[in-house]
Amino acid sequence: MGKTLKCLLIVFVGMFFLSSCAKPAERNDQSGVTSGNSNNGSRYVMHEGWIYYTVQESAFSFHGVDSELRIGGFWKMRPDFSQRQRIAKEDAERLVIVGSKIYTQTGFVYDTDSQSYTQATWAKEVSAHGASSFFIYDQSVYFGGLAIDLDGSNLRIFAADSTVVRMDVYQGWIYFNDPNLEKSSLCKIRPEGTDKTIVTTGVVDDFVIEDNKLYYPNAEDNGTLYVLNLNTGDATKLADIPVKSLNYYAGKLYYLYNREDDGELLSEIYRINSDGFENERIVASSAGIDSLTILDGWLYYGGLSMDVGEPQYRMSLSTGEIEESKLDVSYAQPAASDQEYVKGNTQMSFFVEKDGWLYFAKVTADDDRGTYRSKPDGSQMTKISDEVAYSLMIVEDWIYYSNFDYRMMLFRMRLDGTDVEMVVDQDSSYATLKDEWIYISTEVELFRIRTDSTGYTKLSNESRFDIVGEKIILSELGNAGDDAPGIFTMDLDGKNKKRIYTGFNFLLDTSEEWIYFAKHDGFGNTDGFTYRMKQDGSSIQIFEDTESFSIMVPYNGWYYAVSDDGKSIYRTKANGTAKELIMRLPIRLESMQIIKDRILVSTYDSDAQNFRVDLYDLNGKRKIEFYALDVKD
């Protein structure tokens, strides 16, 4: 045999040997879902550089309407927490990926290649049986003690007379725990339902199978960590503390140790060699850790970040480096450079006008709920989206808005309601436009972000603000006990912050020359006056000596102002003269805006549970009902 042929033969044999040795033991048909990740709820799967995950629904109330906080559904993000985006609103529990398709226990099926989703034909069967376990093996869906083919046919029992809580597949066997059997037995059974065998006892619903070994908290020994050799049946204790949320990676086990401290549940993350040596704590006590997921060499953990089901941290399992989930600002694609900006005339604009159309939202419990457009007189009213949009701003053909259904996070959509995108995952209830920047205040800080979704920058801890010229006017409202509430000025980029007034205050409005505000005692009680001062803090004077206004809207040289009780609307010249009462309302108003020589007044009658918007002319006359909503439960 020639030298070259011998070398080729040696290389071929070596490659065959290496590939045979490197081949892992057969797991299951759940590509991307390891035994450990399945044990932790199968909440995240990775595919082609994306992590796909599920988010649970919540609910809250607005004006007595209990409505879905529709932040739930099916999401994806990059492994470093960036580019988070919701793919679909459908609920998606327990994820399984097979090829390019992601299946969920609720029957939602997402094709990552076509980026489309469908509802599986077997979804009703899974839902009807209320199964707490779910996986896919050999083109069949297994749930509870039942199985059904992926095409929705051949519904069958595979584990008769068994209560199946948690399942895993290993080397042609389905392993499951049956709490109805004596001592919470772990069983194995063939996928066709034959050869049911009890493997061991003391296994509840927390176990991992790797390398012919079963790792589990032993319920018969205070939940401490054990390993069972599946070939010999020998069991060995590995750790002497109770463990939860087991996971496995590269010969090491990861688990949670939970303890109480003054009534608060704290969790610590430990790592131990699979032989029981080098048991070490890698994350100190933290509240709310509920699962451990390992993807591509990173451990993802944390509670429910923002109550939406995202991990808050990830740790490199090779270096120990920990990264915290950071604010992502790259959801939306950049808008064109020749921007046209239109904004409302308050920071929380319920209405905005463009090209003869008003854009606004309705909040109600019925199908009328959503975002609309109409002519300024209320005619030609048309629903453009189911999304409920507040703090509306328009840039070219995009509406930027605070999404009522997504915890007031900043979104955008086209003027026709299409192409809905999240811009930034921050509360943006109070927002305004200046050049290419959106300035947003939350409960605790002021930040800005470009309309193309770049350049996120925190500017200040003060939350109430206004913009005039090239300056930001900031108000620290202050409460009793605060050290130094006041009013400040600051450059648009957050630099050169300067205090110009010290004291409890409500910032009402700003002009090129004046800052208008009310004083209060730290508990929200005003002194009955409205004040103004120069932008450098000088010339503090009483602007109105009979009313402490709660809202001031400038329009064509006049100020339209709302009394402190929210029931009277006045107008006065910008110098404080010619004050007149133009309307008196029977109930307190919610908001007031002026658009196209019309005053839009929103009121909520808590007794009748009715929310309405009425139009008035600038003299407070010629009332027109714009719309009314019955918000009874």
In Å, the largest CA–CA distance within the chain is 112
- Residues 188 and 116 occupy one common structural domain: yes
CA atoms within 13 A on the CB side of 561: 30
Cα distances from 240 to residues 271, 277, 280, 285, 534, in angstroms, run 13, 12, 13, 18, 70
Please answer whether residues 159 and 148 qualify as being in contact, where contact means their C-beta atoms are separated by less than 8 angstroms: no
Among residues 289, 324, 359, which one ends one of the domains?
Answer: 324
Cα distances from 517 to residues 311, 446, 461, in angstroms, run 42, 19, 19
Q: What is the pLDDT of residue 343?
A: 56
Whether the predicted pLDDT of 562 surpasses 70: yes
50 forms beta bridges with: 47
Is 596 within a domain?
A: no
Beta strand residue intervals within 296-336, DSSP E: 298-301, 313-316, 322-324
Q: How many whole angstroms separate alpha carbon 174 and alpha carbon 159? A: 10
- Residues 374 and 277 occupy one common structural domain: no
- Residues 371 and 282 occupy one common structural domain: no
- Residues 319 and 428 occupy one common structural domain: no
Is 74 within a domain?
A: yes
Report residue 614 as tokens.
């009425």
Q: What is the pLDDT of residue 329?
A: 37
6 burial (CB, 10 Å; 0-12 / 13-18 / 19+) is: exposed
Q: What is the pLDDT of residue 113?
A: 92
Report residue 429 as tokens.
């209830």
Residues 6+ apart with CB under 8 A from 608: none
Is 390 within a domain?
A: yes
Whether the predicted pLDDT of 101 surpasses 80: yes
Q: What is the pLDDT of residue 29?
A: 43
The H-or-E segment that residue 149 falls in is strand 146-149
Is 254 within a domain?
A: yes
Report residue 331 as tokens.
């959801």
The pLDDT-based confidence of 27 (bands split at 50, 70, 90) is: very low
Provide the CATH number for the domain around residue 303. 2.120.10.30
- Residues 298 and 350 occupy one common structural domain: no
* In the chain, % of residues over pLDDT 70: 83
- Residues 290 and 403 occupy one common structural domain: no
Whether the predicted pLDDT of 341 surpasses 80: no
Please answer whether residues 445 and 427 qualify as being in contact, where contact means their C-beta atoms are separated by less than 8 angstroms: no
**pTM reported for the whole predicted model:** 0.61
Pairing of strands 610-616, 598-605: antiparallel
Is 153 within a domain?
A: yes
Is 82 within a domain?
A: yes
Is 521 within a domain?
A: no
The pLDDT-based confidence of 342 (bands split at 50, 70, 90) is: low
The pLDDT-based confidence of 87 (bands split at 50, 70, 90) is: confident
Please answer whether residues 257 and 265 qualify as being in contact, where contact means their C-beta atoms are separated by less than 8 angstroms: no
- One-character DSSP codes across 379-406: -S-EEEESS-EEEEEEETTEEEEEEGGG
- Residues 119 and 243 occupy one common structural domain: yes
Q: What is the pLDDT of residue 47?
A: 92
Whether the predicted pLDDT of 7 surpasses 50: no
- Residues 366 and 298 occupy one common structural domain: no
Q: What is the pLDDT of residue 61?
A: 38
Q: What is the pLDDT of residue 287?
A: 65
Among residues 324, 355, 387, which one ends one of the domains?
Answer: 324
Looking at every residue in the chain, the average pLDDT score rounds to 81
Which residue's entry shows tokens 């919701």? 86
3-class DSSP state for residue 319? coil
Is 480 within a domain?
A: no
Q: What is the pLDDT of residue 279?
A: 93
Q: Which of 227, 188, 228, 180 is nearest to 204 (CA)?
A: 180
- Residues 365 and 294 occupy one common structural domain: no
3-class DSSP state for residue 485? coil
Beta strand residue intervals within 317-388, DSSP E: 322-324, 341-343, 351-354, 357-362, 370-374, 382-385
Whether the predicted pLDDT of 5 surpasses 50: no
Report residue 253 as tokens.
């086990």
Q: What is the pLDDT of residue 73?
A: 72
- Residues 362 and 306 occupy one common structural domain: no
In the chain, % helix, strand, coil (3-state, to 5) comes to: 5, 50, 45
Torsion of CA 373, 379, 383, 389, to 10 degrees: 40
The pLDDT-based confidence of 471 (bands split at 50, 70, 90) is: very high
The pLDDT-based confidence of 403 (bands split at 50, 70, 90) is: confident
Among residues 389, 413, 435, which one ends one of the domains?
Answer: 435
Which residue's entry shows tokens 């929380």? 348
Q: What is the pLDDT of residue 426?
A: 74
Domain encompassing residue 375? 339-435
401 burial (CB, 10 Å; 0-12 / 13-18 / 19+) is: buried
Whether the predicted pLDDT of 542 surpasses 80: yes
Report residue 452 as tokens.
């193309």
Q: How many whole angstroms separate alpha carbon 571 and alpha carbon 157? A: 76
The pLDDT tens digits of the residues spanning 160-189 come to 878 888 889 999 999 998 887 877 889 999
Please answer whether residues 581 and 570 qualify as being in contact, where contact means their C-beta atoms are separated by less than 8 angstroms: yes
Give the residue-averaged pLDDT of 325-352.
53
Give the residue-averaged pLDDT of 117-124.
89
Whether the predicted pLDDT of 70 surpasses 70: no
Number of domains in the chain: 2
Q: How many whole angstroms separate alpha carbon 630 and alpha carbon 627? A: 10
Report residue 484 as tokens.
């130094």
The pLDDT tens digits of the residues spanning 242-294 come to 999 999 999 999 999 988 777 777 889 999 999 999 999 999 867 668 889 99
Q: Residue 334 carries which DSSP code?
A: P
Q: What is the pLDDT of residue 502?
A: 92
Which residue's entry shows tokens 């993000």? 77
User: Length of the chain, please?
Assistant: 633
- Residues 316 and 350 occupy one common structural domain: no
Give the residue-averaged pLDDT of 226-234.
95
- Residues 175 and 291 occupy one common structural domain: yes
